[in-house]
Chains A and B, each alone.
Chain A
Amino acid sequence: MRSRNTRRWAAAAAALTGAGLALAGCASSDSGGGGSASGTWPGEGKSECKGLEQLADFGDLTGKTVSVYTSILPPEQQAQEDSYKLFTTCTGAEVKYEGSDQFETQLVVRVKAGNAPDIAYIPQPGLLKTVVSSGSAVEAPSQVSDNVDKWFGEDWRNYGTVDGKLYAAPLGASVKSFVWFSPKMFADNGWTVPETWDDMLSLTDDIAAKGIKPWCAGFESGDATGWPGTDWLEDAVLRSAGPDVYDQWVNHDIPFNDSAIETSLDDVGKILKDDKYVNGGFGDVNSIATTAFQDGGLPILKGDCAMYRMASFYAAQWPEGTDVSQGGDVFAFYLPTMSDEFGKPVLGGGEFVTAFSDRQEVQAFQTYLSTDVWANEKAKATPGGGWVSANKGLDINNLKSPIDKLSAETLQDPNAVFRFDGSDQMPSAVGAGSFWKEMTAWITGESTDQALTNVENSWPAS
């Protein structure tokens, strides 16, 4: 019996080993890695590749592919892919695009498992830090660094930098410091776009005196409910306390419930927590928490409310056929400043091109995306609008929609002081957790002091 069993085991082991060897034979030996450029770049002498001479450094990349993983979904995906055609023409390399609405979680899973894409467009500096600290991200090549110095502001470079090294160049941008309104409604009533915060408050009173609720708002956004509130607060902090305090606050150098922040949240509360001012078309203050941010501005079209503070990307939410332009059905104005002291603070967001491989074609693609040529190419490839970049080489005339032009002008304004959305930079326990929750609690009745203290207490210790 014993000997029979032993024989069986031996046979099984032999079979397994055999299968293992057979499979091992199939294992590919392609290890990727840096390597040096070979051949001349296919863009040599082609007129459309003018301005992309940097790509010549990477040689002939015909037949190579670069995989891109992003949170950018259709219809914007199509415009992105169209803008890569020039890259394929000039280098020969193809781009394999993959978008996912679960990008933030799935990227971390893939990076942890060693299955990272070649390039990911990371929409949060906080996530970039996490990914870099895992050790798998690759520093940007010198060409990208040069381009970032040339085409982007210092503030943008900082957001793509971790521990003094530039990892990621900015890709697209969005401006959050906008207030949506109806130019027609304003013209009919003789209202003008406010230039200062105080003007805005007196305009609010004027509108309320007419019996129209001046503001509408919506904080509901599925499991991210509350984020529009964090944007309100961040914009107010930038305007009342200034960008330096804002940075300290975001980096937790001052407590979350600092008195400056409390003042700012009270400024927001003067507008959002007054039943006379909100919530046009939906109900009282409490309805803000349950109104989806996608629907929050729609009452403007019916004249039920006059103003809606929401980012430039809200342009996509208007029903088809809405005229989004100066003098049209809806447009946006820059959320005015409280004083001239801090320039024109602009709250916004954007994506950062992070690489996980240093293969030639990956670096070439990074370089391509950081050029002014790509920014203009992308603008031309986006016929419906809805995209801007902070790239100073972007010709505003290439942008199709009026709101994109306004966004680009706002970003390129010499007085503009850009600050990235704070909740995207804070540790995720706060920025994607307690901050959202407490803003929702605050709008439904919690006191300013209590809300800010709760967030402060939830800040991770280290």
Chain B
Amino acid sequence: MTGVVTDAQIVDAESTPPQRSASEAAKDALSSRTASIVALVIAVIWTIPTFGLLVSSFRPEEDVKTSGWWTIFTNPSFTLQNYKDVLSGGSSQESLYNNLINSIVITIPAVLIPISLATLAAYAFAWMDFKGKYVLFIAVFALQIVPIQVTLVPLLKLYVDPPFNLMPLAGRDAPAGGLYELWISHTIFALPLAIFLLHNFMREIPGELIESARVDGAGHVQIFTRIMLPLMMPAIAAFGIFQFLWVWNDLLVALVFSSPEVSPMTVKLVSLVGERGQDWQLLASGAFVSLIIPLIVFLSLQRYFVRGLLAGSVKG
């Protein structure tokens, strides 16, 4: 890549006036016709399975089970029955509505809690001096390596039988049907990455800014709320989408910690297929139903996503 850019810059220097910026040069070099065609082909190939899924979601049960979605071109037949079945809960006759609400109730705190904790922690790691800071930061960073699967049983054990005679959060009399477990678990699993990402972003903010604020008499709280938070909004939003998608799509944590009263959409969609997979034609339409809300969230926050992620992870 560097080679290409350099070549382009050399060409720049010879033929065009010097006011052309490097980014324009890069754009020229990258937007060749071949590159566009290659990108287009990759995009099409990449999208075909999703397109097939979309087609399948509108095909009648018999067709789905006996032939592939591509036969739709020679033998078109469409139905909305799959969507009706999914929305009415398939053969269970319980509508998806409750699970949709559950998903929202689970997801929103499971996004807000880790973000608030992580921004505070990231600020401390980035701009406060205390003993053992680096050891602690490396420990947090290292926690990302722990796969969540190994934590499930010990964590559930702690919820059922917490130390110091604290209130049990799981089991027969779980408060709020186990919502606390889900929120806390998602927070635990999200924090290492959140702290790491936000910390990297905060380190990039010029130290002079903070020093001048100090000279003006601002304390940590004021620096955090008046300077850091506004500057960090893109990064926070980016991580917010990240965490939102992760929690919304999560099945494993929900299976382990949720009870039937608070089970999210993912758990319900899996059970729609039926005990022996006899209703698997519902999977395609189920996938699109569960996709709607994340899609809305993603599209409305998309501009932060690209900006924020780059800002957090790439230095300089």
Contact = CB atoms under 8 A, between A and B. Distances in A.
Interface in A282-309: 292, 294-295, 298
A74 B271 contact: yes
Given A26-B167, A113-B154, A295-B65, 7 more contacts: A24-B166, A101-B273, A113-B157, A114-B160, A115-B159, A118-B172, A294-B277
B66 A298 contact: yes
Contact of A114 (B62, B161, B271, B275): B161
Contacts of A424: none
B276 A115 contact: no
Contacts of B294: none
Given A74-B90, A109-B152, A109-B156, A24 B164 contact: yes
Nearest to A114: B160
A99 B91 CA distance: 14
B273 A109 contact: no
Contacts of B167: 23-24, 26-28
Interface of A: 20, 23-24, 26-28, 30, 32, 67, 71-78, 96-102, 106, 109-110, 112-115, 118, 221-222, 292, 294-295, 298, 313, 316-317, 319-320
Contacts of B170: 113, 115
Contact of B65 (A20, A75, A118, A298): A298
A294 B278 contact: yes
Contact of B259 (A72, A98, A114): A98
The 6 closest A-B pairs by CB, nearest first: A74-B92, A113-B156, A75-B91, A26-B167, A73-B275, A24-B165
B310 interface: no
A109 B154 CA distance: 10
Contacts, number: 106
B171 interface: yes
28 contacts: A23-B167, A24-B166, A26-B167, A27-B166, A67-B172, A74-B90, A74-B91, A74-B271, A75-B91, A75-B274, A98-B259, A98-B260, A100-B267, A102-B270, A109-B156, A112-B153, A113-B157, A113-B160, A115-B160, A118-B172, A221-B277, A294-B65, A294-B276, A294-B277, A295-B65, A313-B276, A316-B276, A317-B276
Interface in B61-104: 61-62, 65-66, 89-94
Contacts of B164: 20, 24
B166 to A, nearest CB: 5
A74 B160 CA distance: 29
A64 B260 CA distance: 18
B309 to A, nearest CB: 32
Contacts of A106: 255-256
B109 interface: no
B133 to A, nearest CB: 15
A77 to B, nearest CB: 6
